[in-house]
Structure 1
Amino acid sequence: MIINKEFVLKGALNEPFKADITYSTDAEQKGIVLFCHGFKGFKDWGSWSTVAKYFAANGLAFLKFNFSHSGMGLDDSDSFTALEKFATNTLNKEVEDIKNVENFIHNELATDFPEINTKNITIIGHSKGGVSALLYCMHEATQIKKVCTWASPFDFHRSWNSKFIKKWKAEGVQNIKNARTNQMMPLAIEVLNDLELNIQKYSLQDGGKKLKIPFLILQGTNDPAVPMDEYNALKKNFPKASTHLIENANHVFGAAHPYTSEVLPEHTQELVSTTKDFILG
C-alpha cells in the first residue's frame, strides 16, 4: 500500500510551509529522498506526486516540500497565494529550509515513522532547487549521502543581465510573468542585494572541491530553460559527478500541470529509473 502523509513545518524566518511524505508498506525500506522544487515551482506540480509513488514502490520514501518563500500558501491551491514571500526569497532562505527539513527527518520522522529508513538520505533538486541542494551539501553539516540534480542551471542568476538589473535598481522591484497562472510575480530589491552580498557563496565554481558526496547530473537535450552550456558548466566544475543525458527531453521531462495519469511520461520514466539506480547503486 502506498501511503501519503502531510505536515506543516517551519522554515526561514520561522515561516510555515507544507511538506508530505509518500512511502510503501509493501516494499523493503531502502532510504528516503528529499525533493526540492524549482523556481516558480511547488511540491505538487505536474508529475511530482506520481514520481513520489514510483520511488516509494521501489523502497525509497519520497519527501517533497514547498520552500517557505516559494509563494505557495498553506491551502491546497496550485496558484501562488503568498507573493509577498516569493518577492523576498533567496538561496540562503532555501538552504535554511532544507536544513530544517533534514532536521525534521532525523528528529521527528525517524521516531514517528520507524518503518521508514531515514539513515540513507538522497537529496534531489529540480532546476533552481538543484542549485539550492548543491549549496546545502557544499556548505552545511549534513548526513545526506548523495545528491542528484534534474535540469539544474550552473548559475541561476545567469539571465539577470545589466539592463534587467538597472531597471530593478531604479524601480525597486522586478516582475516576472508566470505563464501557467498569468500572475506577475514580484522580485524585491532585497533579492538582488542578497545576491550581490553573497556572490561568492552562491557560486558553484570549482564546486567539486567542496562537495564530498556522490553527485549525479541529469539533463534533457531539448531544455529551453536550462541550455546545454549550463549542463556542461556543471560537468566541468564537478568533474567527479556522474552524468546522464535524456535525448530530446525538455525542462520538465515531458510532464505538464496538471498531470492526472498514473503512468509517467517516457522521459520522466528514464529520469526516475536512472536516479533510482544511482541511489541504490
Structure 2
Amino acid sequence: MTIKNQILNRPQEKPIVWDAFFQPNGKRKPLVVFCHGYKGFKDWGAWNLVAEHFSKQNLFFVKFNFSHNGGTIENPIDFPDLEAFAQNNYSKELNDLDEILNHLISEEFEHKNEIDLSNITLIGHSRGGGISIIKTHEDNRITKLITWASICDFEKRTATTGELKQWRKDGVKYVLNGRTKQQMPHNFQFYEDFKANEQRLHIETAVKQIDVPVLIIHAKDDPSVTFDEAEALHSWNTKNSLIEIENSNHVFDANHPWENNKLPIALKTVVEKSIDFIKD
C-alpha cells in the first residue's frame, strides 16, 4: 500500500508533506523514517523505488519533505517556494522530524496498528544524515540509525570566513542549483540559528554519545561528501558499522528524474544492507 502526499498541518507552522509505503496486513512492522538531504525532496530520483523495496520486506517506510525545503503542498517536487527555502535552518529540520515522528506514533494515527513502536529506525541521506544523527542522540524512541553519504560537520557547511562578512551585510546569499539552474537563497538567519544552537548541532559529540546500533554507508568515491567524513563518523564511535560502496557517487548512481523500474546496482546494495541491518 502506498499513501502519497499526506499533509501534516501544524498550528503556526508550515505543513509537512509525507508518504508511507507498507503492507497493510495487521502485523506490527519496524518503522523506518527517511530524511532527504540539502536541495533534496522526498520524490527525488529513485526514492519512491527505494521505499517500495523496504515495504516489500514488511517494513513501514515513511519519507517526507522538510517543511522549508522549497516544495509546496501543491508541488512537492523541486523548489517552487524559494522564500521558504531561504528561511530554512537546522532547527526547523529537527523540529519537522520530531513532529512527523510524533504524528506516526500517536494514538490518532490511522495506521498505528501496523507499526511496532519499539522498533524505529532513522535513515538520513547527506545533510539529512546529520539531522538524523542529532535526532537519534536526543530521542530515546529511536532504536537504530542508518546514514547514507552523511556529512560529519555542520559548521564547515554553514559559512566560510571569507563569505560571512558579505552574507551578514547582504542578509542573503545564493547557491546555484546545477540541475534546476535556480539561485537558491539562504537568509542570514541560517547562520544565526546555527550559532545559537552550535553545541546541540555538534555531530561529533552526538555520535560519541549514541548508544543504539548505527550503520554508516558511504561511496568510496563520493565527490560531494568525501569518504573521510564517513571514516570520521566511524572513528568517533567504533561500535558503529561502516560499509564502503565501490565505484559510485553521492546518490549511489541514481539521478533525477529516475525513469528505470530497477534501482542502480549501488543503490540496490545500499538498500539491501540497510534492510538487513534493520531486521538483524
TM-score class normalised by the smaller sequence: over 0.9
Given the alignment of the two structures, is residue 149 of structure 1 paired with residue 142 of structure 2, yes or no? no
Deviation at 1:135, TM superposition (A): 0.8
Could you say if the C-alpha distance between residues 12 and 48 of structure 1 is closer, same or farther in structure 2, counting changes exceeding 3 Å?
farther
Q: One-letter code of the match for 2:228?
A: D
Given the alignment of the two structures, is residue 219 of structure 1 paired with residue 246 of structure 2, yes or no? no
Deviation at 1:58, TM superposition (A): 0.5
Deviation at 1:23, TM superposition (A): 1.0
* Aligned residue among 144, 153, 156 for 1:158: 156
Q: Please state whether the residue corresponding to 1:31 is helix, strand or coil.
A: strand
Moved more, 80-89 or 154-163: 154-163
- Give the structure 1 partner of residue 35 of structure 2: 36
- Give the structure 2 partner of residue 138 of structure 1: 137
**Cα separation, 1, equivalents of 2:108 and 2:117:** 8
- Give the structure 1 partner of residue 23 of structure 2: 24
Q: Please state whether the residue corresponding to 2:156 is helix, strand or coil.
A: coil
Q: One-letter code of the match for 1:154?
A: C
- Give the structure 1 partner of residue 67 of structure 2: 68
Q: Please state whether the residue corresponding to 1:24 is helix, strand or coil.
A: coil
Unaligned runs of 5+ in 2: none
Q: One-letter code of the match for 2:61?
A: F
Could you say if the C-alpha distance between residues 36 and 240 of structure 1 is closer, same or farther in structure 2, counting changes exceeding 3 Å?
same
Deviation at 1:167, TM superposition (A): 2.1
Per-residue CA distance 1:184-218 (angstroms, 9 max, x = gap): 11000100111122222211123334212111111
Give the count of matched residue pairs.
Answer: 279
**Cα separation, 1, equivalents of 2:3 and 2:40:** 20
Moved more, 234-243 or 107-116: 107-116
Could you say if the C-alpha distance between residues 87 and 108 of structure 1 is closer, same or farther in structure 2, counting changes exceeding 3 Å?
farther
**Cα separation, 1, equivalents of 2:219 and 2:207:** 22
- Give the structure 2 partner of residue 200 of structure 1: 199
**Cα separation, 2, equivalents of 1:236 and 1:131:** 16
1:178–1:184 Cα contact (<8 Å) kept: yes
- Give the structure 1 partner of residue 232 of structure 2: 233
Could you say if the C-alpha distance between residues 253 and 235 of structure 1 is closer, same or farther in structure 2, counting changes exceeding 3 Å?
same
**Cα separation, 2, equivalents of 1:219 and 1:27:** 35
Q: One-letter code of the match for 2:121?
A: T
Moved more, 27-36 or 141-150: 27-36
Q: Please state whether the residue corresponding to 1:97 is helix, strand or coil.
A: helix
Moved more, 100-109 or 167-176: 100-109
- Give the structure 2 partner of residue 124 of structure 1: 123
Given the alignment of the two structures, is residue 183 of structure 1 paired with residue 182 of structure 2, yes or no? yes
Deviation at 1:35, TM superposition (A): 0.5
**Cα separation, 1, equivalents of 2:211 and 2:110:** 28
Per-residue CA distance 1:234-274 (angstroms, 9 max, x = gap): 11223221110101220000000001222100000110000
Q: Please state whether the residue corresponding to 2:98 is helix, strand or coil.
A: helix
Normalising to structure 2: TM-score of the pair? 0.93
Could you say if the C-alpha distance between residues 119 and 76 of structure 1 is closer, same or farther in structure 2, counting changes exceeding 3 Å?
farther
Q: Please state whether the residue corresponding to 1:123 is helix, strand or coil.
A: strand
Given the alignment of the two structures, is residue 174 of structure 1 paired with residue 173 of structure 2, yes or no? yes
Per-residue CA distance 1:144-198 (angstroms, 9 max, x = gap): 2101110001013424321122221221111011111111110001001111222
**Cα separation, 1, equivalents of 2:263 and 2:201:** 33
Normalising to structure 1: TM-score of the pair? 0.93
1:88–1:188 Cα contact (<8 Å) kept: yes
1:3–1:25 Cα contact (<8 Å) kept: no
Unaligned runs of 5+ in 1: none
1:124–1:147 Cα contact (<8 Å) kept: yes
Q: One-letter code of the match for 2:90?
A: L
Q: Please state whether the residue corresponding to 2:22 is helix, strand or coil.
A: strand
Q: Please state whether the residue corresponding to 1:208 is helix, strand or coil.
A: helix
**Cα separation, 1, equivalents of 2:71 and 2:219:** 27
